[in-house]
Amino acid sequence: MRSSDKKPEANRHKVRTIKSGGGKTGSGDLDSTQLKAIGKGLGNSEFDKQLSSGNGQRDVLLAHVCERLKTIHGAQNKELQAMGREREWFKQVAKGTDGYHLPDPTRWHECAQLFQRAAEALCNGNLGRGAQLLERATEVEEAVFESVPTMVKEDLEKHECAQAAPDEMFHINDEAGCSTRDKPQDLKYAEKILAVRDKMESTPPLPIRNRMWWEEKEEEEEEEEEEEDDG
């Protein structure tokens, strides 16, 4: 029987393209809603200026981190819910059906911790270190989503999946800095994710099928033949 527990596998390391100096960077994979939130209260020219600076890059990455933590929190809740529906999937897990293994809401801890550490580095003014941690968090997040069992994946919404990091991350020097700032309130989702400790240790074995009367008779005849041969 296959293992009923599956852990995230290490992904291939994607190397960031390090560039020094200024130059306006693109908006990457952030959508217009995220960019609007970042630039709220700023004029267009001032927002463009901030986006091209270290502080602008910092805030773009922080917005991405917060969005990922909210998505991960939602996916983790789906996995928690699946734990309560064991009767729907335990046979597939016990048989080792491809894609079926035990739900494990703690699988999200590592990527949540990495996103949290990335955000803390960014808020402390360590732009380069924050980008490094975000790169690793993105890789781990992808591996975790791939490791989710089938019955959980079926419950996930289209947007509940791994996402590429913003293009800004790939244009930040490892030694780059930025101004310090307060932590975003949405970092609370990291603590919520890490607070979940529920875990299933094992799946009950499949029940033994009752034998038919002719199977029992055949077994008795085989035993009698063995006794005669021994005699």
For residue range 140-178, what is the model confidence (pLDDT) as tens digits?
999 999 999 999 999 999 999 999 999 889 888 898 888
pLDDT of res. 26: 34
- Is 220 contained in some domain? no
| CA 78 to chain centroid | 12
Is residue 7 assigned to a domain? no
User: Whole domain around residue 197: which residue ranges?
Assistant: 32-206
Other Cβ atoms within 10 Å of 45 Cβ, number:
8
Segment 119-136 shows an average pLDDT of 96
Work out the average pLDDT over 90-116: 92
Which pair of tokens denotes residue 83? 């734990």
- Using CB atoms within 10 Å of the CB of residue 7, give its burial: 0 to 12 exposed, 13 to 18 middle, 19+ buried: exposed
Residue 116 lies inside a defined structural domain of this protein: yes
Three-state secondary structure string covering the chain: CCCCCCCCCCCCCCCCCCCCCCCCCCCCCCCHHHHHHHCCCCCHHHHHHHHCCHHHHHHHHHHHHHHHHHHHHHHHHHHHHHHCCHHHHHHHHHHCCCCCCCCCHHHHHHHHHHHHHHHHHHHCCCHHHHHHHHHHHHHHHHHHHHHCCHHHHCCCCCCCCCCCCCHHHHHCCCCCCCCCCCCCHHHHHHHHHHHCCCCCCCCCCCCCCCCCHHHHHHHHHHHHHHHHHHC
**Structural domain contains residue 70:** yes
* Per-residue model confidence (pLDDT) at position 202: 66
| pLDDT tens digits for range 32-55 | 455 555 555 555 666 556 555 889
Give the chain's domain count: 1
